[in-house]
Amino acid sequence: MTASHPPLRSFGRIKSRSIKPRQAALMDTLLPAIRPPDGAFDPRGLKDGATEAWLEIGFGGGEHMAAQAARRPDVLIIGAEPFQNGVASALRHLDEQQLDNVRIHDGDVRELIARMPDASLDRAFILFPDPWPKARHNKRRLIQDETVGELARLLRPGAALRFASDWADYVDWTLERVLKDGRFGWPAEQVADWRDPPADHITTRYEEKRLGDCAPVFLDFVRL
């Protein structure tokens, strides 16, 4: 009998510095109120009147997620982030802007998406995920065949998937695996289509640090 093993973690630290008192209070009060429910659920049912459901995987400090939610109050956005300091920061953004169309999963996104039904998402973002640049660590990258397959299952036909990275190898890795799945198209026609930030992109503090080995690249895929 083969022993079962938990999936490899695709993220690094869970927590770094101490969380500020105000944010810690939001972790105790706001976070429990906006977590997705346990068990199977349809994201469109998490907010009355929501016209679409979006997912952001690894939202960092939450700036992008909060800005998108403010722009589109008719959209329910689920954010997944295991890094507790990032969750605390996102909660501050939501509280300050009084945004009620965001739900937060403070853990591994793979556990979350396994509970969601087919074709239940209208858009997904994966922005500057941990690149795991050493070859021996590539297996820890979020973008794997299994993850792409789950995203293809969750995204309805015509839905958008945006991946961004400033690590050239991870861009190539992602392009290869997403297109290999066969259920996504990549309509880019010229260099500007992946080199220029998309019109609706919100630049975050992490992106501005330019920690990678190339200028940011934006891959906008479409679910076929």
pLDDT in tens, 111-153: 999 999 999 999 999 999 999 999 999 999 999 999 999 999 9
Counting other chains too, the contacts that 18-21 makes at CB distance below 8 Å and 24 or more residues apart are 19/84, 19/85, 19/88, 20/88
> 64 pLDDT exceeds 90?
yes
pTM for this one?
A: 0.92
Instruction: Name the strands in the sheet holding 52-57, side by side, starting at the edge strand that comes first in the sequence.
Output: 102-105, 75-80, 52-57, 121-127, 155-165, 217-223, 184-185
**What is the pLDDT confidence band of residue 7, given thresholds at 50, 70 and 90?**
low
Does 69 map to a domain? yes
Q: Tens of pLDDT along 71-108?
A: 999 999 999 999 999 999 999 999 999 999 999 999 99
Domain housing 71? 21-223
Does 113 map to a domain? yes
**Which amino acid is residue 130, in one-letter code?**
D
Does 103 map to a domain? yes
Number of domains in the chain: 1
> 1 pLDDT exceeds 50?
no
| Contact between residue 204 and residue 61 where contact means Cβ atoms under 8 Å apart | yes
Does 82 map to a domain? yes
| Contact between residue 57 and residue 126 where contact means Cβ atoms under 8 Å apart | yes
**What is the pLDDT confidence band of residue 31, given thresholds at 50, 70 and 90?**
very high
Does 3 map to a domain? no
Residue 100 annotated as catalytic: no
Question: Over the chain, what is the mean pLDDT?
Answer: 93
Residue ranges in 4-99 assigned as alpha helix (H): 21-34, 63-71, 84-97
CATH number at residue 152: 3.40.50.150
The pLDDT of residue 2 is 40
> Which residue among the candidates 106, 108, 122, 130 is catalytic per the annotation?
130
**What is the pLDDT confidence band of residue 176, given thresholds at 50, 70 and 90?**
very high
Does 13 map to a domain? no
Distance CA 62, CA 67 (A): 8
The pLDDT of residue 205 is 84
Does 96 map to a domain? yes
Does 170 map to a domain? yes
The pLDDT of residue 17 is 73
